[in-house]
Amino acid sequence: MSPHRKRFVLFSVMPRLWFDPVDIWVSDTKRQTVTSVEEAARLLIEAWPAKFARSKKNAAARKACLAALETEKMSAVSAARAAFLKAAEEAGMG
């Protein structure tokens, strides 16, 4: 199984941890509304601009998403959303 397929399988079996919508620019002309920790984590790992893929804010957002996925606590979900928003703003996507 390819690494991309493994990631897809991993994300497809996780429970959805919803949060208030965050609108980001995924390209110069396309916006995307992110509404869950799983969706945010997938974007941070697979579709983030290369220049910011290893930034401290990206790493903090990935760590916050992982914590939310592990604990499933609403406080962790809120923290993941906030960290994702900061990373998106840093990358010029917010």
The domain locations on the chain are: 3-90
pTM of the predicted model as reported, rounded to 2 decimal places: 0.83
- Pick 2 or 50 by higher pLDDT: 50
Cβ-contact 7, 46 below 8 angstroms = yes
Mind listing the pLDDT tens digit for each residue in 48-81? 999 999 999 999 999 999 999 999 999 999 999 9
pLDDT of residue 70: 93
**Distance between CA 8 and CA 53 in Å, rounded?**
19
pLDDT band (50, 70, 90) for residue 15 = low
Mind listing the pLDDT tens digit for each residue in 22-50? 999 998 899 999 999 999 999 999 999 99
The structure tokens listed for 10 are 């991993």
With CA atoms as reference, report the closest residue to 36 among 22, 24, 18, 20: 18
